[in-house]
Amino acid sequence: MRQTNKTKKSGVLRKLFAKISRLMGYELIDQSNLSFVNSSDENNPSIVGKKIINLPLGELKITRKIKSFHIILKTCTSVNLVSQNKKRIFERDKSEYTFRTINSLIKSLKKARDNTQNISFFFTIIDSGSSNSDLSKIESKMKNSMIDFNIESLNLDKYDKKIKVIDKKNPEIERNMKSTMAAISRSFELTNAKDGDLIYFVEDDYIHKEDSIIEMIATYEKFSTIFERDIFLLPVDYPYLYQKDEASEVLIGKDYHWRSVRESLLTFLTSKSIVDKYYDKLKFMSEKEHSPFETILHKIYEDEKCFSPIPSLAIHCTNVNSVFGLSPNINARKLWDQNEN
């Protein structure tokens, strides 16, 4: 009887403490240990690799802990748009999109590095056809970033006979496509040949928000913990995916909503284990052009989960009228201006 009375008193005191805490602007995360955060605090109390907290849903213990994060960026400052002659949004030289993509990734990677523990970060650039002066600028940016990196120039001769492109009746466009496909193929080779965990494949016309990488890392850990499997994440809320009559799962990541999708372009985050699992298919995609190019990737999404953020974590700087470009509810001009340097 005494034990029952103690339990009742303890329960009453906890409820009273919870009410007082709410009046003071605090919200209990777990009433069993009376842990709480300030409900008006903008700093998310989640800890990457340990737990993720979404008010008022509570705490999720992370079992899928990220060990490393490797960006593989494909660059080419000499070609505007691979398969068309249209101008990009903001109508600048192609090199400017490459530079701002790198600037944004460096900022985002630094923020992620400063807010995580026990995750190693590495940045690889696979370049095809950029001028020496542009390569010098890229190298200077990377050296100043204090991020471990490597820049390699693509050996196109190695891939020339392997790659088959669709006849477009335009030798220049076909040549550009071959170069792009060779860089994609090389990025999969690098992933397959080295140890690692998360791999972020990026094209050089995606300008990222500063919180994009930390959001993707924390969300990857959360969703992989929930589903008990590795997944795909995209940085962009592509407008063309809203043209399809498909149901989506909508989940909460770290600070963003995410919805399940069945298609993407070639900028995506996944694990080395998934790349290894589908290596032959991914290599085939990079060596034989399909229409759409990402057809094989979309087939993989039939068996693996893929999510895109709402709103977008990055802008895809293609033509302003392209359905593959500007995402809804994002200030593209602001993000462009923020990453000039």
Residue 240's SS3 state is helix
List, for residues 23-47, the tens digit of each pLDDT value.
655 555 555 444 444 444 445 567 7
Domain boundary among 11, 29, 61: 61
pTM attached to this predicted model: 0.85
194 and 92 part of one domain: yes
Could you tell me the residue range of the domain that residue 52 belongs to? 2-61
Are 182 and 231 part of one and the same domain?
Answer: yes
pLDDT at residue 114, rounded to an integer: 94
pLDDT at 40: 41
Residues 55 and 84 in one domain: no
Query: Do residues 108 and 229 share a domain?
Result: yes
Confidence at residue 56, expressed as pLDDT on a 0 to 100 scale: 65
Report pLDDT digits (tens) over 56-84. 667 889 999 999 999 999 999 987 655 55
d(CA 217, CA 327): 21
Q: Are residues 116 and 55 in the same domain?
A: no
How confident is the model at residue 10, as a pLDDT? 58
Total number of domains constituting the chain: 2
Asked if residue 100 and residue 23 are part of one domain, the reply reads no
Backbone angles phi, psi at 283, to 5 degrees: -65, -40
- Ranges of beta strands (E only) in 101-220 are 120-127, 149-153, 198-203, 206-208
Q: Which long-range contacts (CB under 8 A, 24 or more apart) does 177-181 make?
A: 177/82, 177/83, 177/289, 179/76, 179/79, 179/128, 179/129, 179/154, 180/74, 180/76, 180/82, 180/128, 181/286, 181/287, 181/289
Same-domain check for residues 19 and 141: no
| Whether 54 and 75 share a structural domain | no
Q: What is the DSSP string of 95-127?
A: HHHHHHHHHHHHHHHHHHHHT-SS-EEEEEEEE
- Kindly state whether residues 52 and 101 are assigned to the same domain: no
Give me the pLDDT at residue 13, please.
64
Domain final residue, candidates 37, 61, 85:
61
Q: Is the same domain home to 89 and 35? A: no
Is residue 45 located within the same domain as residue 152?
no
Instruction: Give yes or no: residues 134 and 230 share one domain.
Output: yes
CATH code, domain with 143 = 3.90.550.10
Q: What per-residue confidence (pLDDT) applies to 171?
A: 84
What per-residue confidence (pLDDT) applies to 246? 86
Counting as low any pLDDT under 50, the low residues of the chain are: 1-4, 6, 32-42
